[in-house]
Chain A
Amino acid sequence: MRKAAPAAWAACAVAAVLALASCTGPPAAAGGPDGILTSSWGDPQNPIEPANTNEVQGGKVLDMVFRGLKRYDPRTGEAQDMVAQSITTADARTFTVTLKPGWAFSDGEPVTARSFTDAWNYGAHVDNTQNNAPFFADIEGYDQVHPESGKPTAKTMRGLRVTGERTFTATLTAPYPAWPDTLGYQAFLPLPRAFFTDHDGWLDKPVGNGPYRIESYAKGSGMKLRRWDGYRGPDQARNGGVDLVVYTDSNTAYTDLMAGNLDLVDDIPATQLKFVKSDLGDRYTNQPALIIQTLVFPMYRKEWARPGMEKVRRGLSMAIDREQITRRIYQRTRTPADDWTSPALGDGGGYRALCGDACRYDPAAARRLIAEGGGLPGGRLTLTSNVDTGSHRAWMDAVCNSVNNALGKRTACTVDPIGTFADFRNRITSYRMSGPFRSGWQADYPLIQNFLEPLYRSGGSSNHGKFSDQAFDTLVDTANARPDPADAVGDFQAAERVLAAQMPAIPLWYQNGSAGWSKRLTGVALNQFSVPVYDRITVV
């Protein structure tokens, strides 16, 4: 008997494992109004706090779980009142915000003026190290809670004042007529008391005021969201919930979609697009988003900034065959760029093909311009980008080949692939680039200002090439002071013409949002930030 024991034990173990394996199979998929869909997700970089989330993956969750004062219409991008009943001002400096009655967080707490002011004060305070703190910099008193150096001298911003249960005022440091339109950004979302009283508990399972509530959150692997039946907003969810599953490799997510293990993939890798029509038929969308990819020149380097180099920069732009690259490498999920904003802004929003000839492929003109400008510095050009995500390696090679072919030189252009995004960002922010480098810009809100001021104004918060032009700065400042946003658009376009002449950054292409889905889903669409509008999806 004793001898048989190990064998018997082993047999039991095997049986137990098999039993376990067979009873944890996938649940039978149910459709109808309570149907639940599975969707691909990426691990958010930072804890899911509104003022700390600055990328799409965390933003995806916030968009489901929260509603702010304003919300950008998923189709047009227009900022519409959501929790706000009205936002009024007399001088474009002091705004009075009134909330609609009846809004509540899913833990039952009503949404009040304090839900907003407390959240904003939290986000702005330097002690809380929130990424999006600079979004509050327009509010009076920001410099006391978030000094550039030294200790903060205040707990809250004096520009925010609660005037009633559902009203508060915000005073800015300077007039900013378009300010209400920026309030759809996730940094401006409200927060419940639980966020402040039990911060760790809240982070484990965030509570918001949106159409979904979080049922469970397994950090690093997935999140289960369910429709919140107590939601009283205008956009109740049309499905029972969403299960987000983290994928490290978007190729695998697409493979899973084809194998029927996943309902929705919102980032289809370029390598999979060739057969997307035969794989998915019309269960695929490819639509403009507020994202542009550019090649930024390090204008802090003498050899790239000296007079005459604008011709070389312009010539390089004309040596890139955008049409061919977006077709062959990206299967048309990128659109050749002809300005520095995005077509998703629409004509009214300020999009216009202002790059003109400088963005058109013309090898002869490119050769001529580069020669006139004195040639490439040292006869060489090195492109830099991180290659750990996206299809960056492929387009870098393609751009270099295009430049080399246009110039008729074999190895004038080479690529410098960087292994990690962190390393790449370090080199950019410490101004260590020697040649053009990739810059991807996703607008925070659908305003032309957001595509121009932070990137190209002197001292702009993301002006990584240190471009500086007096005429450009003046035009941007004039535009920001205009009381009517429609007039401002004209000034911004004039500023864009300065970019066209100086070419501090080569517009490459506009990145579209793309998504594919299973036969179970209908009504799938992406918003302008290339995030699926989950609450509109129905499960059949």
Chain B
Amino acid sequence: MGRYVIRRALQMVPVFLGSTLLIFVMVYALGDPVAALFGDKAPDPATAARIRHDLYLDQPLWRQYLHYMGQILHGDFGSAFNGQPVTELMAAAFPVTLKLTLVAVVLEAVFGIALGVASGLRRGRPLDTGLLALTLIVISVPTFVSGYLLQLVFGVKLGWTRPSVSPAARLDELLLPGLVLALVSLAYVTRLSRTSVAENARADYVRTAVAKGLPRHRVVSRHLLRNSLIPVVTFIGADIGALMGGAIVTERIFNIHGVGYQLYQGILRNNAPTVVGFVTVLVIVFLLANLLVDLLYAVLDPRIRHA
């Protein structure tokens, strides 16, 4: 187990280096950020040249990258253009997004699995078909559409919840944006657990359990569910990374000052330290989530042992 974790951790190093380099090149390709600092006015040449010099923007790309990586090793992630250190932005943004992601993951896991099991146990019946159609429609609706729609209905028309999230980002305020964020994944989870349950429902061990005279709920919860959850867990694990980075649209609509918001601001302003810093952390989260999923397998499936 220990050696396995170490090996996986070592593999993260090249991925980490590759990602930072790729993102760095991409932000570099976005162009010079200095002109935009002056708004609709033309930049003053002397001031612009000085800013470029201070930010190492007058150096060739490889020198900029080395300089940046050197800084990171000293724990310095650079600053946003409003003077705030990126580490400070991260400290403010990641807890908020983490909360939002947790809400989304809980929603998609609880409702997705429940709907999937219900539908998988009644394959081909009206309930199954209805849920199928519903999940497919949800998959096809872009997040910004469901975001605006649910915000209007629940936040304004019905007034059940705040249409935006306050800076404190309380859990009850995050329910609606969490749902919007979870919707597409929820549909996937439903589809996945439906298929998995339907497959396993015919397995010998389930037949045996039923033949033994175990009550139905016990068969479902103890035998069927446990074995059907593996693909679902994989999906949710990988989804944590995607949800954290993919909340750009949701965070914008609900005015949540999290990772997606900072990332979007960084991109709009071509601010390399912000974008590279945040994406780097996201990649690490993504890799850790994958590792966690693999370890979870051992819990769900006793046949798998990581030495």
Listed in ascending order, the chain A residues whose CB lies under 8 Å from chain B are 17, 20-21, 24, 26, 43-47, 54-55, 126-127, 129-131, 133-134, 146-149, 203, 218-222, 245-249, 251-253, 255-256, 258-259, 261, 388, 420-423, 425-426, 428-430, 439-442, 454, 461-464
Contact = CB atoms under 8 A, between A and B. Distances in A.
A134 B39 CA distance: 14
Interface residues of B, number: 57
Contact of A261 (B31, B39, B54, B162): B162
A258 B37 CA distance: 33
Given A131-B47, A149-B46, A248-B252, A45 B37 contact: yes
Given A45-B81, A130-B47, A17 B36 contact: no
A261 B45 CA distance: 44
A421 B34 CA distance: 11
B51 interface: yes
B81 A46 contact: yes
A129 B39 contact: no
Name the residue in A220, A247, A441 with the highest tally of chain B Cβ atoms < 10 Å from its Cβ: A220
A439 B159 contact: no
B32, B47, B265 pick with most chain A CB within 10 angstroms: B47
Interface of B: 30-33, 35-47, 49-51, 54, 81-84, 88-89, 92, 148, 151-152, 155-156, 159, 162-164, 166-168, 170-172, 251-255, 257, 261-262, 264-265, 267-270
A146 B264 CA distance: 34
16 contacts: A24-B168, A45-B36, A131-B41, A245-B167, A246-B255, A247-B164, A249-B253, A251-B148, A252-B255, A420-B267, A420-B270, A425-B36, A426-B36, A429-B35, A429-B42, A462-B42
A218 B162 contact: no
Given A252-B254, A252-B255, A422-B33, A47 B82 contact: yes
A259 B162 contact: yes
B37 A44 contact: no
B171 A44 contact: no
- Name the residue in B37, B88, B159 with the highest tally of chain A Cβ atoms < 10 Å from its Cβ: B37
A47 B170 contact: no
Nearest to A200: B83
B163 A259 contact: yes
B167 A133 contact: no
Contacts of B30: 420, 422-423
B252 A146 contact: no
B35 A426 contact: yes
A421 B267 CA distance: 10
Given A21-B171, A43-B265, A126 B164 contact: no
A130 B81 CA distance: 12
B182 to A, nearest CB: 19
A21 B169 CA distance: 9
A248 B264 contact: yes
Contacts of A461: 41-42, 44
B163 A261 contact: yes
B257 A220 contact: yes
A131 B252 contact: no
Contacts of B254: 252
A221 B37 contact: no
Contacts of B172: 21
Given A255-B164, A259-B159, A261-B162, A429 B255 contact: no
A311 to B, nearest CB: 29
B224 to A, nearest CB: 24
B155 A259 contact: yes
Q: Which 5 A-B pairs have the closest CB atoms?
A: A422-B36, A47-B83, A425-B35, A255-B163, A422-B270
Interface-centre pick from B39, B162, B172 (highest chain A CB count, 10 A)? B39
B162 A54 contact: no
Contact of A422 (B41, B159, B269): B269
Given A146-B46, A252-B252, 15 more contacts: A21-B170, A21-B172, A24-B168, A46-B81, A54-B41, A131-B44, A133-B44, A146-B44, A219-B82, A220-B262, A246-B255, A252-B151, A255-B155, A255-B164, A388-B268
B82 A43 contact: yes
Contacts of B270: 420, 422-423
A21 B50 CA distance: 47
Nearest to B173: A21
A441 B40 contact: yes
Nearest to B32: A426
A103 to B, nearest CB: 28
B277 to A, nearest CB: 14
A245 B37 CA distance: 22
A193 B66 CA distance: 38
A218 B167 CA distance: 9
Given A24-B168, A440-B40, A126 B31 contact: no
A387 to B, nearest CB: 11
Contacts of A148: 45-46
Contact of B47 (A17, A24, A129, A388): A129
A38 B187 CA distance: 39
A300 B280 CA distance: 42
B165 to A, nearest CB: 9
A221 B167 contact: yes
A421 B268 CA distance: 7
B133 to A, nearest CB: 30
B34 to A, nearest CB: 9
A244 to B, nearest CB: 11
Given A147-B46, A256-B163, A246 B257 contact: yes
Contacts of B170: 20-21, 24
B82 A45 contact: yes
Contacts of A134: 44
A131 B162 CA distance: 38
A422 B40 contact: no
A252 B164 contact: yes
Nearest to B89: A220
A399 B68 CA distance: 44
A248 B261 contact: yes
B272 to A, nearest CB: 12
